[in-house]
Structure 1
Amino acid sequence: MIVTVEHVTTYHYDRPVRGVVQSHRLTPTRFDGQTVLDWSVEVSEGTAGGGFRDGAGDWVQSHSAHGPLSEITVSVHGRVQTQDLAGVLRGHRERMPAAAYLRDTAPTRADVALTELARAAVAGATEDLDRAHRLCAAVAEAIAYRPGVTEAHTTAAEALRLGEGVCQDHAHALIATARVLDLPARYVSGYLGGEDADAQGAAAEAAHAWAEIWVAGLGWIGFDPANACCPDARYVRLGSGLDAAGAAPIRGVARGGATERMDVTVSVRATQQ
């Protein structure tokens, strides 16, 4: 499948800032399930700095711009050839040990309810792969997909209490439940396309997120509770982290104390070869 991505993010400032420094995880992952055909990341102001491949195998690129600036735009355009590996991150090179992803963060810390959900979901399961699938199904059932009811800083525990959320909340909740069972888990950011159409709804949320769980003997396997499935050929993987903040495609800071407003447009089209 060929997945075409158009992703534009513009940061507006209510008064000019002295400068902006950003860190980008906007380059698709290298693994057997996807090959970049063409890809570009352009920033309206400033210059690119150093880039490196981190311990998780993700490409991180820095960018800085000197002010005064009232806005800055990051534009991503490209095509990726993908194939369905049933969620398995095969052929991916990284140096980070899986055990590093057992550490909790504030958004993924399990409370009593998440702990009970995890243990009830895997009752009777004897293999880790089965446990992972059961956890994904349990989170999908416990948290209905509903945009607008949660915020960027909503935790997994809060989303479970609400019983509603978006892909970020589903991923955080799955990570939390997996770590309850000592299964390493991490947050993944990327894109999800619908065939021959702009992404619409939970089944094809263009700027998307899911989780990966480490299964001994198989490695990292992706699970998407928002769609109750494993990532397939419609998905493009960008990067990973302990939670949404760690895997954010764009992180940055503006110097000058201005109020920031962000506009994002994403179009993802998946077409058969």
Structure 2
Amino acid sequence: MILTVNHVTTYEYDAPMRGAVQSLRLFPARFDGQRTIRWDVEVLGGTRGGSFRDGAGDKVEGWSIRGPVSEVTISVVGQVDTTDTAGVLRGHRETVSPLAYMRETTATWQSAEIRDLAHQAVEGASDTLDRAHRLSNAVAEAIAYRPGVTHAHTTAAEALAQGEGVCQDHAHALIACARALGLPARYVSGYLFAREDGEAHEAAHAWAEIWIESIGWIGFDPANQCCPDARFIRLGSGLDAREAAPIKGVAQGEGAERLEVTVALEQVQQ
């Protein structure tokens, strides 16, 4: 499937800032499931800095913007050819040990309810892969998809307690459940073209990957109750949403910030 992406992020300040620095993890991952046809990332009025590929295999690029600046706009335009690998991250080069993803964060803290959900979900499971699928299904059942009921700093335990959340909450809850059972798990940011039934979906998306010793990293998307397929574009990963964020930045000044994001994903007729 060939997908085109048009992603614009704008930061507006109510008072001019002295300058800003951005760290961008906005580049398609390189693995067997996707091939970048063209991809352009630009910070309007900014200066491109250095770039590198980190231990997790993600490309990170730095940008700086000299002030005074009242608005910072980050534009992504590209096209990716995707293939369904049944969620398996095959052909992805990275040097970080999977055990590094056993570390707990604030967002993935394991409450007693998280641990109970994890252990109950895998009762009778035949193997590790079956356990991972059962965990994803259990999270999907325990947390209903409901936009607007949580915020960027909601933890997995909080989302489970209220029984509602968005894809970020599903991913955090699944990661916490997996780690509670001794399975390395991580957060993945990217894009999703549409739901399996063709229904429109918020294009910026997140899911989780669980390490299965005999296979490798496998993606699970509790929000859509599936493994990532050709509708997904994978960008980067981390211990949680904060670490895997596609955009991180610092602005110098006293102005209050307002954020606006638009993402459009379309399929190219083949």
TM tier, smaller: over 0.9
TM-score by length of 1: 0.96
Partner of 2:22: helix, strand, or coil? strand
Task: Write out per-residue CA displacement over residues 95-150 of structure 1, whole angstroms, 9 at most, x where no aligned residue.
Answer: 00000000000000110000000000001114110000000000000000000000
| AA of the residue aligned to 1:78 | G
Mapped to 1, the partners of 2:218 and 2:142 lie a distance apart of 21
Task: Write out per-residue CA displacement over residues 175-231 of structure 1, whole angstroms, 9 at most, x where no aligned residue.
Answer: 000000010000000000039xx982xxx3200000000001100000000000000
Equivalent position to 2:249, from 247, 252, 255:
252
Aligned residue-pair number: 268
Mapped to 1, the partners of 2:60 and 2:95 lie a distance apart of 15
CA drift at 1:269: 1.4
Mapped to 1, the partners of 2:39 and 2:170 lie a distance apart of 29
Aligned match of 2:186: 186
Aligned match of 2:141: 141
Aligned match of 1:57: 57
Matches within 5 A, 1:195-214: 200=200, 204-214=201-211
- The answer to whether the 8 Å contact 1:171/1:209 transfers is yes
Runs of 4+ aligned structure 1 residues displaced above 2 Å come to 270-273
Q: Which runs of 5+ in 1 are unaligned?
A: none
Task: Write out per-residue CA displacement over residues 51-97 of structure 1, whole angstroms, 9 at most, x where no aligned residue.
Answer: 00000000000001110000010000010000000000000000000
Mapped to 2, the partners of 1:239 and 1:207 lie a distance apart of 13
Equivalent position to 1:268, from 262, 265, 270:
265
Aligned match of 1:75: 75
Q: 1:102 to 1:66 in 2, by over 3 A?
A: same
CA drift at 1:46: 1.8
Equivalent position to 2:226, from 223, 226, 229:
229
Partner of 1:48: helix, strand, or coil? strand
Give the % identical residues. 66
Mapped to 1, the partners of 2:117 and 2:269 lie a distance apart of 38
- Give yes or no for the alignment of 1:17 onto 2:14: no
Mapped to 1, the partners of 2:126 and 2:162 lie a distance apart of 31
Partner of 2:222: helix, strand, or coil? coil
Mapped to 2, the partners of 1:253 and 1:231 lie a distance apart of 32
Aligned-residue RMSD, C-alpha: 1.2
Aligned match of 1:158: 158
Partner of 2:157: helix, strand, or coil? helix
Mapped to 1, the partners of 2:231 and 2:269 lie a distance apart of 10
- Give yes or no for the alignment of 1:170 onto 2:170: yes
Partner of 2:136: helix, strand, or coil? helix
Mapped to 1, the partners of 2:176 and 2:118 lie a distance apart of 9
| AA of the residue aligned to 1:258 | G
Aligned match of 1:66: 66
TM-score by length of 2: 0.97
Mapped to 1, the partners of 2:267 and 2:220 lie a distance apart of 19
| AA of the residue aligned to 2:91 | G
| AA of the residue aligned to 2:240 | D
Partner of 2:107: helix, strand, or coil? helix
Mapped to 2, the partners of 1:44 and 1:199 lie a distance apart of 33
Mapped to 2, the partners of 1:17 and 1:102 lie a distance apart of 39
Mapped to 2, the partners of 1:272 and 1:44 lie a distance apart of 30
Partner of 1:151: helix, strand, or coil? coil
